[in-house]
Structure 1
Amino acid sequence: MAVVILLCGTCGLSKCITRYLISMVASDLLVIITAVLLNRIPAIYFPGSFLSITPICCISISLIYATRDISVWLTVSFTFDRFVAICCQKLKMKYCTEKMAAVVIGIVCGLGCLKNIPWYFMHEPILIINNVPWYCRLKEIRYTSPIWATFQWTDRILTPCLPFFLILFLNAVTVRHVLIASRARRRLRAQTKGNNQNDTEMENRRKSIVLLFSISGSFVLLWTTYVVQFFFERFINEYKPQGLSDPKFIFQESANMLQLLSCCTNTFIYAVTQRRFRQQLYHMLQHPLTLVRNYCHN
């Protein structure tokens, strides 16, 4: 529904912002499809299906990491775009355009796919039945090979450690710029119109600050457990879980759950908070009821 509403272009957003929002919603949806619908649910409720064949399983895992990275870095790209729009007025006219947004989205998607190809080769089959390999598990070499260790460290640094820093830094600079501009505007209005006048521009800036803190706070909180779990795994020799009730297993799965949940929040943070989007969503949900009511009336 979010994609349909944004494609209609009735939310009062610029084409540049709309492109970013659509790409973010689409990438988040792909994360849910690849990581939940095609991986978690079949593994738990439909074991032994064709999705458990090792080559398909390896492709699925690579797609999960690719869509995850694309989702995270599109969030960073959009945050940078808003930083430029607010803080860099000279660069704004050249960078904050629909064409540049399309180029950035294409680069992020392409690099996200290329970066995660090695995940396909990091897994091996658990069983071989009638010459058909089944299921996937990480190769033991990942704990001893410096090449795989370097790849894993690079993977965690690029997602989500570097996005952590970039989002927090860009939001901090943006908020500082907004606060300085707001104070200057408040002094100017006090000299010209008095303090009792409502300032729509300052109210919009205040909402932007709240939105920026919501974005960074949500991202950091939901990814922190995943980062801690990675460092814990790398520095503890006996990290392999011994069963479903093992605290290590519960911690690991909780980290995976929270990082998947982070891919569900962007739509709400960026889109649902928009008043016009909420109106269009209400009309979309109301439309089937209106059709039924008109049919019954006729």
Structure 2
Amino acid sequence: MSSLNITDEDFVIDNDVLSAIRKSLTRNPFDHYVNGVCGLIICLLGIVSNALSFSILIRRVMRLSTYVYLAGLCLSDFTTCLFLLPGYILNAYPLEIPDYDLPRTYAYTKLLIIAGAISTTGRVLSVWLCVAFTIDRWIMICRPFVGPIYCTMKNARCVTIIIFIIGIFYAFPLVLEYEPHEETALNEILFANTNKKNYRYILSKLGKNSIFRWTYVLINALGVYVIPLTIIIILNRKLLISIRLLEQRSAEYRAPSPTKQGVTVMLLATTILLLVFRLPSATISIMWLISAKMFINEKPPFLLRKFHSIANLCATLNAATTFIMFIIYGAKFRSEFTNIYCCCLNRLKRKQVLFNNQHEQNIKEILSSDINVNEQSITNQINPFPINQSYGKVRQVDTRHSSSATTTTSISSLPSLRRLRYQRRSPRYSIEREYDFMNHNNPNRNLQQHYELTT
């Protein structure tokens, strides 16, 4: 047989084969909805809620060391939600768009690597900040004599800064763990006539190093989940016991409960929420220690990838829902939030207060006018034929009482008020009353008639 001279131009890919390759690159609906749509919505809500929480917790009114840790927690959760957006946006593209048409450029792939490292670090910082404010609350409640010495805002700021500095050292190796890789075979098949190139991130030389992998797995399992979560569980149990004892003593001595107990309840709710949503991630980390080969493979089992995606979504949900715990259990946080951001509620309250004040003022004016009318009627009953001098005095007294708006009625005027109301209910119009009314309005005429009768 003669030797065959075959070049690259002699290879021709059939259209059926090409369509089969493209069909095999269709996207999975589970990744689209879990790692795309749901994650994108949760991240957007988390960015807004953590920004609002951070703006309230850094105010000068929140003068407590615990609020410093909570402000750091909101900052780390905000960073987590912000840097998870690139990956969720990529998976949130419509399912009709195939995987090879997604914008998998070199720059975007590099952005995914850096954003993934920062978001992972943000989750770690959130766990250790929860440990920090749990210890702070435990010292304040269970060790009240040394609490004012150690639980200060200055110490809280120092501890928070130290945690963030350690987080920078933790994130630096994660950035070097992966690197962008060009898919040359796929680009030659699908994009032979175009300049488009697809990239994906794969493990770098550092990431493939067994020493680095096992060191990272141990640090992630012990330092991120096992040790901090154990500390949180133990101290929270002691805090619950102390709160129950305080409530029992307050009930026995009929004393009010401590003023800062609401802050402790808010922190307990926040840590319990963290434990619930971080449990799947802790399970994944322990599975790394048991069998790392499943995760090192290029394509791990589909059920394991599903569980990993759900664990990441739960961790993202935890970063976005701390604001809800602050609103429900934090009375001071809730009042500051309503005073700053709930402008509509404040306007309604102001309108209600103005309406109530105006209503009270109207009632006062009605009462004062009733008192004046009552005093005038009593005076008329005592002296039915006053002279000019006494009439002027009565007018002077009437003017003095009408100018001053009083809110209380004298005891002697109450029966007259009742009589006046009864007269209003059943008015009587007679000739004698009309004649008396005319005489009362014209005192000079009364004097003249009296003088004629006497003479």
- Please, what TM-score do these two structures have when normalized by structure 1? 0.78
Measure the CA separation in 2 of the matches of 1:274 and 1:211.
Answer: 6
Q: Partner residue of 2:117? A: 62
Alpha-carbon distance, 1:287 to partner: 2.5
Q: How does 1:176-195 map to 2 (within 5 A)?
A: 176-187=241-252, 189=253
Q: Map 1:193-208 onto structure 2 (within 5 A).
A: 197=254, 199-201=255-257, 205=261
Q: Is 1:155 aligned to residue 220 of structure 2?
A: yes
Residue aligning to 1:192: none
Partner of 1:194: none
In 2, the alpha carbon distance for the partners of 1:259 and 1:133 equals 30
Superposed CA deviations along residues 36-72 of structure 1, whole A, max 9, x for unmatched, are: x233224654633565243x43322221222221122
CA deviation after TM superposition for structure 1 residue 33, in Å: 0.3
1:136 and 1:249 mapped to 2: Cα distance?
17
| Equivalent residue number for residue 260 of structure 1 | 316
Q: Which residue of 2 aligns with 1:3?
A: 54
- Secondary structure at the aligned position of 1:125 is classed as strand
Distance in structure 2 (CA, Å) of the matches to 1:137 and 1:20: 36
Gaps of 5+ in 2: 1-51, 94-101, 185-194, 348-455
In structure 2, the residue matched to 1:24 is: 73
> Contact conserved, 1:9 with 1:18, CA < 8 A, in 2?
no
State yes or no: 1:287 paired with 2:336: no
Give the secondary-structure state (helix, strand or coil) at the position aligned to 2:218. helix
Note if 1:90 corresponds to 2:145: yes
Task: Provide the C-alpha distance between the structure 2 equivalents of 1:211 and 1:288, rounded to a whole number of angstroms.
Answer: 26
| Distance in structure 2 (CA, Å) of the matches to 1:168 and 1:51 | 42
2:406 alignment counterpart: none
Give the letter for the 2:54 counterpart: V
Identical aligned residues as a percent: 19
Q: Secondary structure at the match of 1:137?
A: strand
Per-residue Cα deviation, 1:53-106 (whole angstroms, up to 9, x for no partner): 43x433222212222211221111111111111111232122111111110110
Partner of 2:304: 248
CA deviation after TM superposition for structure 1 residue 273, in Å? 2.3
TM-superposed deviation, 1:34: 1.1
| 1:137 corresponds to 2:213 | no
Which of 78, 86, 89 in structure 2 is aligned with 1:41? 89
Kept in 2: contact 1:126–1:134 (CA 8 A):
yes
Within the candidate set 220, 224, 227, 2:279 is matched to: 224
- DSSP 3-state at the match of 1:253: helix
Structure-2 separation of matches of 1:123 and 1:31? 19
TM-fit CA distance, 1:14:
2.4
Alpha-carbon RMSD across the aligned residues, in angstroms, is: 3.3
State which structure, 1 or 2, has the greater radius of gyration over its C-alpha atoms: 2
Greater RCO (CA < 8 Å, at least 6 residues apart) = 1
Q: Specify the SS of the correspondent of 1:135.
A: strand
Per the alignment, residue 35 of structure 2 pairs with: none
Q: Tell me: CA distance 1:213–1:287, structure 2 relative to 1, closer, same or farther (3 Å).
A: closer
The reply on whether 1:276 has 2:332 as its aligned counterpart is yes
1:164 aligns with 229
CA contact (8 A) 1:142 1:149 kept: no
| Cα distance in 2 between the residues matched to 1:265 and 1:165 | 22
3-state SS of 1:201 partner: coil
The 8 Å contact of residues 43 and 52 in structure 1, kept in 2 or not, is answered as no
Residue 81 in structure 1 maps to residue 133 in structure 2? no
SS in 2 for 1:280: helix
Check the 8 A contact 1:24/1:74 in 2, yes or no: yes
Unmatched segments (≥5 aa) in structure 1: 190-196, 292-298
Distance 1:213 1:5, change over 3 A: closer
Q: Distance in 1 between matches of 2:298 and 2:306?
A: 9
Q: Secondary structure at the match of 1:8?
A: coil
Secondary structure at the counterpart of residue 136 of structure 1 = strand
Question: Cα offset for 1:19?
Answer: 1.9
Displacement of 1:7: 3.2
1:165 Cα shift?
Answer: 0.6
* Compared CA separation, residues 257 and 241, structure 1 to 2 (3 A): farther
- Could you say if the C-alpha distance between residues 144 and 234 of structure 1 is closer, same or farther in structure 2, counting changes exceeding 3 Å? farther
1:146 correspondence with 2:146: no
Quick one: structure 1 residues 49 and 71, their matched pair in 2 at CA, closer, same or farther if it must change by over 3 Å?
farther
Structure 1 residues 228-237 or 154-163, which shifts more?
A: 228-237
Residue 164 (structure 1) shift: 0.8
In the comparison of the two structures, how many residue pairs are matched? 275
The letter of the residue matching 2:87 is N
SS in 2 for 1:90: coil
Answer with 97-106 or 279-288: which moved more: 279-288
String of CA shifts for 1:127-175, please: whole Å, max 9, x gaps. 1789x99432335875771332122221221112222111111111222
Q: Deviations over 1:240-294 (max 9, x none)?
A: 5859x93222111001111121112333224552223323333444437989xxx
Report the equivalent of 2:361.
Answer: none
The residue type equivalent to 1:22 in the other structure is A
Kindly indicate whether the alpha-carbon contact (under 8 Å) linking 2:250 and 2:256 is maintained by their aligned counterparts in 1: no
The CA distance in 1 between the partners of 2:341 and 2:242, in whole Å, is 39
